[in-house]
Each structure stands twice: as C-alpha cells, then as structure tokens.
Amino acid sequence: MLLESTASDFDGWQALVSDSFVPLDTEPQRRGGFRGAISARDYDSVVMSHISANPHAVLRTPNLIARDAKAHGSALSPSSYYKVSLQLKGHGLLIQDGREVSLAPGSLAIYDTSRPYTLSFDCDFSSYVMMFPQSRVNLPTGTVGQLTATSIGAEHQLGAVATQIITQAGAMLPTLSRSVGIRLAGNVVDLLTTVMADELAETAEPPGERQHLWSEVTRFIDANLADPQLSPSTIAAAHFVSVRALHQVFEGSGETVSGEIRRRRIDRCRQDLADAQQSQVPVAAIGARWGLSDPAHFSRLFRSVVGSPPAAFRRSSLS
C-alpha cells in the first residue's frame, strides 16, 4: 500500500521523516512556513520513497544512533540501513565520514544510517530515496563505508542504468502490486550492490588475502545454500583453512559465518514466498529448498528474522 503523508509545519515534518526512515533531527533553513510530503512503499524491508520539501537540514546524530543501539541491545540495530538518494530537483549537500558531496539533479549518493550524517537543502527539492538493510548488500560494511558521501556511478554506464531504473521504479510506486514490487526492489538493490562493487574496484588496491577469501567463501555459501549440512566447519574444510581462521575473515563484516548462512537462506525464502508464481509451493518445501528442512525450525527462524511466520508473510506479500 502506498503511504502518502504531508506536513505543513516543521515539527510535523521532523516526526514524519523519523517515522518514515530512522530517528532524525531536523533544522529549518529559512524563516516562514514549511511544507513537505513523502510517498512511500515498503517492499519486504526495502523502502522506496519520493520526497519533496522546502529548504531544511536533516541530521542523524551520535545521540540518536546511541539511543537506537541501546533500545535494541546491539550496535548493529534494526536501524543499520543504507540509504541511496537520487536527486530529482533542487540542490543539496550530503556530509558523512569526513566527506561531503554536492547533490544536483541526477546525483546518486549513498549514506549509512548507523553512522552520523547530515543532509542539507538550501532550496525547494525533490528526490527518490531507497532504504534497505545492510544485510541485503553482499559487501563488507567497512568496504561500503568508502563510498558514503560520494557520487556513486557518476562516471560509469552502470550508474546511469541504476539512475534510470530507480526513476522508473519510483514513478511506478502508486501502481505496483506488492509481489511485483518486492521482486523489483530486490533487483534494484542487487544492481546498486553491483554499482558499489564497480566503484570500489575502480579505486581499490589489489585485494588482500583476507578479502579474497571472504569473496570466495560468500560465493561458496550462495552456491550451497540448499545443502542442510552447510556450516562453518564444512566451509572451512572446502577452503583448506581452520574454522578459527574462517571466523577471523568475517570479523568486521557485521555478520558471523553462521549468521551469513542464515541471512542468505531467509532472503531466498522471502523471495520465493513473495513470488506469485510459486504460491502453490508448500511453505515447508520452500524452506527445504534452501537447506532448512525442519519445518518447525524454519518457521521459528523465519519469524525471528522477518517478524512473522512464513505463511503469514506469504499472505501479506501476495495480498
């Protein structure tokens, strides 16, 4: 369902942007009245939004981040998202990690909600914003951190493709069915991941042994998700390293080896459960397809990650 909200005063706008994304502070950039609007749809944790507003600044402060972490009992809270912004109208400035980038129409930029940032607009503006969990990106968070507050894809064909697809997807927000939207949003996140990887490859030094092994292991995990025996020990044996060394490779990535396996399995199950063409496939069969052969365990795990049992998630996605 498309959620359309407007604010005709600044206090209302601060509440609206915090409810739509993550807790944020806002500051006016001029005296007088204020008006802003957000249209948004949530496609299975990928939120696609169109924003238009008068001049103002948005701040994700250390205090807000610490409050989130305390509320959720983890530094990697449910507020650990990437946001990708496509500027449509007006100009702005994004500041994060000691870098800043000017936002002009056509600019595509990424920022990380788990670290402080500032977005400032000195004129009326509009933009598309995609927000998605960091776990949906198959790149180490520390590596992606090199791209925050930069104009990603600006010099490459892949960036132009991503810009075009985000524009088209945003225009379809009011009409997309939920099942199609979930699939499209997942494809856009995959494309953005490819754009990020391409940007990193342009400037990176040759990958070290640890980074190379991480890439090999994550590819191996993807290729063997259907195997119920997939585990840190089987992965370590396949790559001729100790289990301890394998765990060290994942340090700093924001995920453990077992957590990475679980996340990827649940992601595949979510995609299949939201696929209308697979609506007649039993829920248990979808879990077994991705290595979760015990129906009760699959249901508990899915609910712990997604927030609802797989059958309920399917009904919601296909309704």
Q: Rounded CA gap, 19 and 72, in Å? A: 17
Q: Rounded CA gap, 148 and 133, in Å? A: 15
Q: Rounded CA gap, 111 and 114, in Å? A: 9
Edge-to-edge strand ranges of the sheet holding 108-112: 3-7, 36-43, 46-53, 125-133, 81-89, 108-112
The residue to which tokens 């129409």 are assigned? 105
- Which overall architecture, per CATH, does domain 209-318 show? Orthogonal Bundle (1.10)
* pLDDT for the residue numbered 84: 96
Per-residue pLDDT of 182-201, as tens digits, reads 889 989 999 999 999 888 87
* pLDDT for the residue numbered 76: 46
CB contact set of 264 (below 8 Å; sequence gap of 6+): 221, 222, 225
- Residues of the chain below pLDDT 70: 71-79, 154-155, 202-208, 252-254
Query: Domain 3-203 carries which CATH code?
Result: 2.60.120.10
For residues 55 and 123, is the Cβ–Cβ distance under 8 A?
Answer: yes
Residue 116, burial from CB neighbour count under 10 angstroms (0-12, 13-18, 19+): middle
Domain coordinates in residue numbering, the chain: 3-203, 209-318
| Secondary structure class of 111 (helix, strand, coil) | strand
